[in-house]
Chains A and B, each alone.
Chain A
């Protein structure tokens, strides 16, 4: 069956360290993958997109990798800050004819950065 998992429901990390979040999937062949940030009581906000033929993408303190052989994406936040505390969602995207059926979201990882 198809499945998308994120490494853990919750992750605690000390301020200044690098946070690494994992997104694993089985029986999917996504064209690209996105990461979103969600704060409590708010909707998700888009952060980064990476295509299947890209190995790595960076944006400021954020880095995403995408390994289609391992069926895994890693999301890194370097020099983490308490303001980075939030839930992070990965989403697999499939390009097809159906406009709406092409996003599949993971359950999310709640990151807490401790001062």
Chain B
């Protein structure tokens, strides 16, 4: 069974702290994504990666960075956490398919981050 694993389900951090969110997939997928989900706003893309050491900005990259040193692992970094980064963070992975560069997305269970 395919799996995307996020390291923490709940995280509480202080303003100004550096925060690491880890994501691992076991499907040998090429593409990995970080989204945040806020009530009424839907899923918004922060960063994505289509290869090891490659990264591309999504729609809302400000205040975030990412790292992909190995194919199966994609990390999201909040350099200096702020209260407006309190949100549910979702990691996803996919492979190119017959429908285009990304077929269906496989999501992790999410990390609910609270920044106080």
User: A residues engaging B (CB < 8 A)?
Assistant: 4, 9, 31-32, 34, 36, 41-46, 49, 51, 89, 93, 95-103, 105-108
Of B42, B56, B109, which one neighbours A99 at CB under 8 angstroms? B56
Of the 9-residue stretches B11-19, B76-84, B96-104, which lies at the interface with chain A? B96-104
- Give Cα distance in the complex from A43 to B45, angstroms: 14
Tell me the number of A-to-B contacts counted with CB atoms below 8 Å. 78
**B58: A residues at CB distance < 8 A:** 100-101
What are 26 pairs between A and B in contact, CB < 8 Å?
A: A9-B40, A34-B104, A36-B105, A41-B112, A42-B109, A43-B91, A43-B92, A46-B105, A46-B106, A95-B99, A96-B101, A98-B56, A99-B31, A99-B48, A99-B50, A99-B56, A99-B101, A100-B45, A100-B48, A101-B45, A101-B48, A101-B58, A102-B100, A102-B102, A106-B42, A107-B40
| Chain B residues, CB < 8 A from A95 | 99-101
List of A residues within 8 angstroms of B90 by Cβ: 43-44
Interface residue from A43, A100, A101 paired with B108 (Cβ < 8 Å) = A43
**How many residues does chain B have at the interface if contact means C-beta atoms less than 8 Å apart?**
29
How many angstroms between the C-alpha atoms of A42 and B110 in the bound complex? 6
B105 near A44: Cβ-Cβ < 8 Å: yes
* Contact call B99/A100, Cβ cutoff below 8 A: no
Q: Is the interface of A mostly helix, strand, loop or mixed?
A: loop
